[in-house]
Amino acid sequence: MKLPFPLAAHALLAALEERGYRFVTPTPATHARVIARRDQARDLRDALGWSLPFSATTIDPEIVDLLRGADLLEARGDMLVSNVRVSSLGNHLLLHSAYPTTARDAVFFGPDSYRFAGFLEAELPKLSRREHLVDFGAGSGVGAIVAAKHADGVSLLDINPNALRLARANALHAEISFRISGAERWRFLNAGALQAVEGAIDCIIANPPYIADPAHRAYRDGGGMHGGELSMAWAREAAARLQRGGAFLLYTGSAIIGGEDKLKAALFEALEGFDVAYREIDPDVFGEELERQDYADVDRIAVVGLVAVKR
């Protein structure tokens, strides 16, 4: 009998865990450099981390069966290829899209997800326990999974149904493997605004797209203001929705122009009535974007973290 996708995916992740599988996803540029060294997989990490094609005899047959059972395999000539990657974050294993993530509905997970998780792990313990936390733009669900132990209920919101499909599997796996308390209250919402979330919300976490992406990929395109537009829109939504004591934790990128952080000023204005802490987490990411004409006036893209609590 065929298992529903989240259970089939959980069985795969559990089998990988048993085998001690680990893979840390690097930037796409690093990924491209590494896979240029070989054209087919030698082991599980090559197949499920580096997204290299493999022959069914190279890889553990139980893993091939589990991939097949979860409909995660495609044929490429006489080889097989996995249409997901499996990455590790500490002890967690998460599914996300295979490399290269060129499809418009690709499910993002990368160095930003690691930094976002680190930001949440540093900031959430400083707040009181939350009743209902929303991960806005949840992607693979990494933020929600890291935050779940600090909340009674967690809602994951994303416009990409493919992201929610993988997030559901990742959350189920995290729940079974780590017995995250309160995790029976996961909700998955295919929507692009907080309006879709019912009931009171007392924490919103977000790692929105923050690059001006000419290909308009949902996981990457932050719109105008050199990609800052979506961060602003989400901050305004959070400001309108949160009640006293409600917290907004935003991890995003800011294009620094002439030494000035215009996004910072705009965020502080949008979050009037909140106590706001803001810091640079990384002074310089995605430097290659600066070669593009629409970034001609930008000095650098900084990754920033904002914690805003409504007074």
Task: Point out which residues bind ligand SAM (CB under 6 A).
Answer: 108-109, 112-113, 116, 137-140, 142-143, 157-160, 163, 192, 207-209, 218-219
Q: How far is CA 3 from CA 8, 85, 227, 254, 258, in A?
A: 5, 20, 40, 43, 55
Alpha-carbon span 188 to 168, nearest angstrom = 7
Question: Is the four-CA dihedral 227, 230, 233, 238 of positive or negative sign?
Answer: negative
Q: How far is the CB of 229 from ligand SAM (least distance, A)?
A: 11
Count of beta carbons in the 10 Å neighbourhood of residue 213? 16
Min dist CB 300 to ligand SAM, Å, is 19
Is residue 82 within 8 Å of 72, Cβ to Cβ?
yes
Strands (E), the chain: 73-76, 79-82, 84-89, 92-97, 130-136, 151-158, 186-190, 203-206, 247-257, 260-261, 274-282, 300-310
Q: Which residue, 138 or 256, has its beta carbon nearer to ligand SAM?
A: 138
H helices of 83-228, in order, are: 111-123, 142-147, 161-178, 224-227
| Minimum gap (Å) between residue 113 Cβ and ligand SAM | 3
Minimum CB separation of residue 181 from ligand SAM in Å reads: 22
Least distance (Å) between residue 203 CB and ligand SAM: 14
Closer residue to ligand SAM in complex, CB, 73/197: 197
Please say which residue, 59 or 148, places its beta carbon nearer to ligand SAM.
148
Residue 58 or residue 140: which is nearer to ligand SAM going by CB? Answer: 140
Of the pair 35, 159, the CB lying nearest ligand SAM is at: 159
Instruction: Return d(Cα 239, Cα 267) in angstroms, integer.
Output: 10
Residue closer to ligand SAM, measured from CB, 123 or 158 = 158
Q: Least distance (Å) from ligand SAM to the CB of residue 80?
A: 26
Residue nearest to ligand SAM according to CB distances in the complex: 139
The amino acid at 282: D
DSSP 278: E
Beta carbon of residue 36, minimum distance to ligand SAM (angstroms, whole number): 25
Q: Which is nearer to ligand SAM, 186 or 219 (CB)?
A: 219
